Each structure stands twice: as C-alpha cells, then as structure tokens.
Amino acid sequence: MSHDDDLKSSLLDGKEEGSQSGGLRDSLYNLLGIQLKDKKDFGKGKKGYKAPSDEEAGGYEAPKEFVYSHGLTSQEAQRLLDLYGPNELPDVKTPKWLIFLQQLWQPMPIMIWLAAIIEAAIENFPDMGILLFIQFANASIGFYEITKAGDAVDALKNSLKPKATVKRDGKWIEINAVYVVPGDLVLLARGGAIPAD
C-alpha cells in the first residue's frame, strides 16, 4: 500500500497518523471552512467517500463571517459603485497618432528608411522620393486596416453589453452588468454568464 493510499484511508477512516490524532483532517476542514457541531466522521469505517445523509449534513455550520445578502438599496449600490468603480475591465486605447507612427517603425519600414538615407547620401533624389512615397503609403494602408478592425471590435463590444438581474430595494431588476457592485444579490440562470469582472 502506497503512502498516498495510507493518507487517504487515514483521512477517511479517522485513524491517527503519527502523533497528529486526525490533525491533518481537522486542518483540511478548517482550510475549507467546514465546521462540525460534533466531531464525528461521516465516512468512518468505509473506504472511499460516502455522501452524508440529511441528518449528518445538519452538522455543518456556515462560517461565522459569512453574511447572507438580502440585496442592496439604491443608495448603498451607488455608494459602492463610487467606492469600487464600475464592474468592467479597464479599456486601454492606443492613440491613433501612435498607431500611425508604429507603422513607420517596424523591421521592413526601417529597411526602407535606410535605403532612403542611402539614396539621399548619393544624391539620387528621385529614388529617395519613390521610397518615401512607398513608406508613407504602406503606413497609411496599415493604419487604415488597424483602426478599421479596432472600430469593429468596439462596435461589437457596445452591442453585446451584458445584463445582470440583481435585487435592489427588495425587487429583482435587470441592469447593465457594469453597475453590479460587491454585495449585490445576483440571480443566475442556466446558461447565463456570471457578471463579474
């Protein structure tokens, strides 16, 4: 029998392991926040897990710090929204001028800049002009494609605003999920998204 099997059987059978007298089991209960009214072991004498009966399950108590929510008032929700901010991930936007400059400073554009500098050094200005035209034309096309894709993503985000059903002022109401705050009582339905960012 391996050490893991010994450990499992001692946890499930309530046997003492060394001098700990079930200390590991009690530590696991404490870690998981499970408190027993009496210290009887639900799986005693059995190998493997045995689900507790309804009478035995009555031995569990909710941790003392757990508070059941009955929903918030509109004033509490507004105060918490001011305190914690909206329920959304921060939206980091790159300025459009920086997007354009990034198109001019990539590996291929750097090679075109070097070629344009060489053409200027040998005083071949028509070729330098062609290279600069190619450089700015490529940057403009890249800038247009990137900003067009970014605008499409923003439009999609705006059309898919998530909703949440919360209890406010004693009534279930549907709100924009951005306004969900800590302490809200949220109604979840099968297949619904959890409105928490």
In a domain, 17, yes or no: yes
How many Å apart are CA 153 and CA 127, to the nearest integer?
A: 39
- At 14, which amino acid appears? G
Question: So what's the pLDDT on residue 135?
Answer: 94
In a domain, 124, yes or no: yes
- At 196, which amino acid appears? A
In a domain, 146, yes or no: no
Question: So what's the pLDDT on residue 5?
Answer: 52
In a domain, 136, yes or no: yes
Q: Are residues 7 and 55 in the same domain?
A: yes
Q: What is the pTM of this model?
A: 0.47
How many Å apart are CA 104 and CA 57, to the nearest integer?
A: 67
Residue 100: domain span: 96-141
Q: What is the pLDDT of residues 121-143, one digit of tens each?
A: 999 999 999 999 999 999 999 99
- The answer, yes or no, to whether residue 161 has pLDDT greater than 60, is yes
Looking at 16-103, which runs of residues are DSSP E strands? 35-36, 60-61
Domains held by the chain: number: 2
Question: So what's the pLDDT on residue 134?
Answer: 94
How many Å apart are CA 62 and CA 168, to the nearest integer?
A: 25
In a domain, 103, yes or no: yes
